[in-house]
A and B are shown apart, each in its own frame.
Chain A
Amino acid sequence: MTIKTSRGDYTIAMAAPIEREAGAVVATIAMERVDGIEKIVLRARIANDLLGVDANSDDSSSIIDRLGPWFARDFEMTRENALKSIRGERRLFEIAFDAANQGPFAP
């Protein structure tokens, strides 16, 4: 999926297979500028309750379809946090979506 941001067009795609943990699905997502000059990887932890039947599916397209527009709206902050986390803490930035923070997975 391609999103338009103030820094240009970015593709949103899975960077690794979906992981399953207790009560949640973890998606490793890559945001890459279409011309390749920048790429940032982050993780989204999504509670199974928010995904419904999609929680058991290995098809990540529904996750990407919902996260893409959300990233486009909050792009600068997400990008900044992801870069800080990778550069400074040497770990991928993780966004948690659950009952308290449903984000793009609100019914």
Chain B
Amino acid sequence: MSLQLIRPDINLDFVGKRHFFVGLSTLINIAAIVLLFTVGLNYGVDFSGGSVVQLKFEQQTNGDEIRRALSSLDVGEITVQDFGTVGREFLVRFESVKNIASLSTRIEEALSKAYGPNAGKVMRVETVGAKVSKDLKRNAIGALVFATIFMGAFIAWQFRRVSWSFGSGAVIALVHDVLVVVGALVVSQLQFDLTTLAALLTVIGYSVHDTIIVSDRIREDASKRRRESLATVMNRAINETLSRTILTSGTAITVLIALLALGGPILRPSAFTLLVGFITGTYSSIYIAGPVVLFWESRVHVRAATAST
């Protein structure tokens, strides 16, 4: 007996339930946009500018004590987060440092005063200037917008013989995926830096991958079953590709869960982004791209019927 994850004759009603899931996704996207403008992303130094200093202590300490020790430095707002060995290693972010050249020395002097000689050491200093971070932010947004539009145009062109609406379905699904992932990053407050951006661009590429699989099957079935409605053809296509969708996404998601659990603090934001993005990308291929195409096609037919009367 062969292993079958999905029965070959499965016939779940995806298209019939689309209104509920489109409504749910709309609410989630609105919430993500509101959160983005109210709470905001936790930008890394790449996008916010400033300096990151990694400190290692001989003795246990905490963020409040470090902030007190460094308060005399006059370096603007200080953010301290645990990093590595709990209570012994920390990442300190400074938004604006007037004299960066002596920052490392001044920090070690301040720590010596507070904790004793050589109690705290600076392991790493990385600084991104305000102009560079502004440029990076602008380029990041440009990359996301370009990738989304290009993917939509590519799919619209490839499926033009069935309908131009496939392109709009793909773009709306992509925007949905990006918003869901961004919303998840806002809620989790994981750091958004260049590696997280790369993960988000990967999500855009992967999300459309599943949409293409479903759309291609719709194109195949639509040419064979011209008498059936697009909704029926679409539902059959989704059911027929369900096994491949679950296996492809499932294997990728399994790897990402391992990466998230074992990858450590540096990889956590990008692993989280990829995991949420891959799950959402699979969902949107079924419940967003398809309904958008159906909606577009129904408007075209209504307009055509109205015009002929």
Number of A residues near B (Cβ < 8 Å) is: 18
- A39 B104 Cβ-Cβ under 8 A: yes
CA distance A38 to B54 in the complex (A): 11
- B101 A36 Cβ-Cβ under 8 A: yes
Report the stretch among A46-54, A59-67, A69-77, A80-88 that lies at the interface.
Answer: A80-88
Over the window 238-265 of chain B, the binary record of Cβ atoms lying under 8 Å from chain A Cβ atoms (1 yes, 0 no) is 0000000000000000000000000010
Residues of B with C-beta under 8 A to A37: 51, 100, 125-127, 129
Residues of B with C-beta under 8 A to A87: 124, 266
Number of B residues near A (Cβ < 8 Å) is: 24
Interface of A is mostly: mixed
CA distance A87 to B83 in the complex (A): 9
- A92 B123 Cβ-Cβ under 8 A: yes
Q: A38-B125, A38-B126, A40-B123 are in contact. List 15 more A-B contacts (CB 8 A).
A: A15-B121, A36-B99, A36-B103, A36-B104, A37-B100, A38-B127, A39-B104, A39-B122, A41-B121, A41-B122, A41-B123, A41-B124, A87-B124, A87-B266, A90-B83
Interface residues of B (CB under 8 A from A): 51, 54, 83-85, 89, 99-104, 118, 121-127, 129, 264, 266-267
Interface residues of A (CB under 8 A from B): 15-16, 30, 32, 34-41, 83, 86-88, 90, 92
